[in-house]
């Protein structure tokens, strides 16, 4: 690159400010353009272009530095917003947790009351009432033990069959009672 960088094209007609553009700013641009060729030889000198280029680069660095600062500020603001959102979500989650704990506790306590009541009612049953309770589940309308009703009742209780007390010696409340059993012929 020599001492001449490029030549400035001489305008063929007088330059006019574009519509909707500030005339003072346009005049500044014209003066700068004229200054590029301050010695009037229509060749842009290294010094003349260098001053504008340095100014342009410095301005670009300032703009980028501003963007960098804005980026950092935006990051901090976003992180702060996320922390606030996190805390709100934590509070909401804790409130829902406490509500569910309260609800489950209430439900459990209500179930406990009902189950305890049922257990106490079963404890108070006489042997006759116990037999009647079982017979309701395994007999037909003629009060005859039906195998399939008995099967349906016992199929989920097979593991408990070995615990049935068959001997009056082993059981305190055992009394032998006769029942008729209807065995299907399949």
51-57 long-range contacts, Cβ below 8 Å, gap at least 24?
A: none
Are 139 and 146 within 8 A, CB to CB?
yes
Q: What does pLDDT average to over the chain?
A: 83
Q: What is the largest CA-CA distance in the chain?
A: 135
Q: What are 8-55's pLDDT values in tens digits?
A: 555 556 788 999 999 999 998 888 887 776 666 656 667 777 888 899
Ramachandran assignment for 40, one of left (phi > 0), alpha (psi -120 to 50 degrees), beta (any other): left
Q: What are 126-136's pLDDT values in tens digits?
A: 989 998 999 99
Structure tokens belonging to residue 132: 């009647």
Question: Can you give the pLDDT at residue 185?
Answer: 63
Binned at pLDDT 50, 70 and 90, residue 4 comes out as very low
The pTM (predicted TM-score) of the whole model is 0.44
Are 146 and 140 within 8 A, CB to CB?
yes
63 pLDDT above the threshold of 80: yes
Question: Can you give the pLDDT at residue 100?
Answer: 97
Q: What are 96-127's pLDDT values in tens digits?
A: 999 999 999 999 999 999 999 999 999 999 98
186 pLDDT above the threshold of 80: no
- Domain limits, the chain: 16-76, 125-182
């Amino acid at each position: 690159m020599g001492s001449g960088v490029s030549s400035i094209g001489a305008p063929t007609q007088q330059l006019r400010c574009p519509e909707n553009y500030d005339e003072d700013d346009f005049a500044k641009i014209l003066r700068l353009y004229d200054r590029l060729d301050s010695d009037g030889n229509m060749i842009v000198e290294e010094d003349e272009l260098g001053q504008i280029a340095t100014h342009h680069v410095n301005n670009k660095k300032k703009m980028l530095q501003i963007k960098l600062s804005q980026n950092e500020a935006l990051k901090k603001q976003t992180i702060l917003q996320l922390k606030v959102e996190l805390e709100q979500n934590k509070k909401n989650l804790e409130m829902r947790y406490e509500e569910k704990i309260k609800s489950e506790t209430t439900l459990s306590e209500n179930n406990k009351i009902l189950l305890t009541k049922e257990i106490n009612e079963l404890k108070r049953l006489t042997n006759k009432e116990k037999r009647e309770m079982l017979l309701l589940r395994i007999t037909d309308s003629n009060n005859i033990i039906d195998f399939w009703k008995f099967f349906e009742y016992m199929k989920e209780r097979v593991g408990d069959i070995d615990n049935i007390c068959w001997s009056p010696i082993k059981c305190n409340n055992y009394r032998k009672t006769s029942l008729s059993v209807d065995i299907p012929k399949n």
